[in-house]
Structure 1
Amino acid sequence: MNKYICIILIGIFCFACKSSPDDDKNAHVKTAEQEVKKSPLALKKELVDKGYKIIDYVDPKTKDTVLMQEYFMAFLKKGKNRSQSKKTADSLQRLHLAHLGKMYELGYADISGPFGDLGDIRGVTIYNVPTIEMADSLANSDPMVKAGRLEIEIHPWWAAKGYPLR
């Protein structure tokens, strides 16, 4: 049980801590707040030019234009090959967390984390990329997936740009 708590805490730390936008190392990562400062029309054009699918609507209460973007939700499911030794499984877990951290740092994944019930669906990653093919390629480059410990199931998912989790 302590192993799972440690994994969850590492995951929370890796994905909850966000560097300052002024940090040179992460200067290419834009925060939702920075994107919201652009006009909806300018943001929509920028995203569409990069290949993202966007729809917009006017919020009846605020009269603001809301942009919805297509993201890709990758479910990490229990794979068919789970016969690795504890040492190998632990090594794969470290590589898996490093992969997810890299996806986040590069701006390809917005959020990632495990489920707490130890069921067949082990976790989820939301990819912020223009195509399902790109999301699939990134998800399948995970060392746990390559080793067969996890399998990927990807679905398109729409969410409003700039709205934080609560």
Structure 2
Amino acid sequence: MENLKILCLFLSLTILSCKQEVAPNVTEVESQKKENVAELKKELTDKGFQIFDFVDEETRDTILMQQYFMAFLKSGPNRDQSKSELDSLQALHLAHLKRMYVEGYADISGPFGDDGEIRGITIYNVPTLKMADSLANLDPMVKAQRLEIEIHPWWVAKGYPLR
């Protein structure tokens, strides 16, 4: 019984000591959201990114769309490397993709699960096709002509996660 009294006292003091914060009103939240979106738009356009607003007809929400570049890594003309050459190229290829991700140039990369002509993709988050092409062509697999690059502009809602 004594333990129960101590527990009740502890809980009461804990509850009383908590600061009660006032939630911001809806107008303040919407205003801050608009300022953040305006700042993001300015930042993107200042860096040369192509963007536009899309209004969802059902929800009437305004969605910020940004142009990315999807690089298809396709089978190249030189696919006769030895196992040791291929292992070395693969390690260099993965290091290149990691560098693109770490430096913020690429958002996602991965191979396809079949043995088709298109071997994988990389999504470049850069302002121009020329920049995406230049970065993709730095890949050691591309330089060795084991892979070839085909790049297409791709519009995506900014900030939406993959599911």
Q: TM-score range by the shorter chain?
A: 0.7 to 0.9
The 1:63–1:41 alpha-carbon spacing in structure 2 relative to 1, beyond 3 Å, is farther
How far residue 143 of structure 1 moved from its aligned partner, in angstroms, is 0.2
Structure 2 stretches lacking a partner, 5+ long: 1-32
Q: Give yes or no for the alignment of 1:161 onto 2:128.
A: no
Which is greater in Rg?
2
Work out the number of aligned pairs and report it: 131
TM-score by length of 1: 0.75
1:58 shift after superposition: 2.8
Pairwise CA distance, 1:118? 1.3
Amino acid aligned to 1:162: G
Residue 84 (structure 2) pairs with residue 87 (structure 1): yes
Correspondence for 1:51: 48
SS at match of 1:39: helix
* SS, match of residue 109 in structure 2: strand
Distance 1:62 1:142, change over 3 A: same
Task: After TM superposition, give the deviation of residue 50 of structure 1 in Å.
Answer: 0.5
Q: Is the 8 A contact 1:113 1:124 kept in 2?
A: yes
Shift of 1:45: 1.2
Residue 102, structure 1, aligned to residue 104, structure 2: no
Change in CA separation of 1:55 and 1:82 when aligned onto 2, cut-off 3 Å:
same
Deviations 1:110-164 (A, max 9, x none): 0000000011100000000000000000000000000010000000000000100
Identity of aligned residues (%): 73
Matches within 5 A, 1:1-20: none
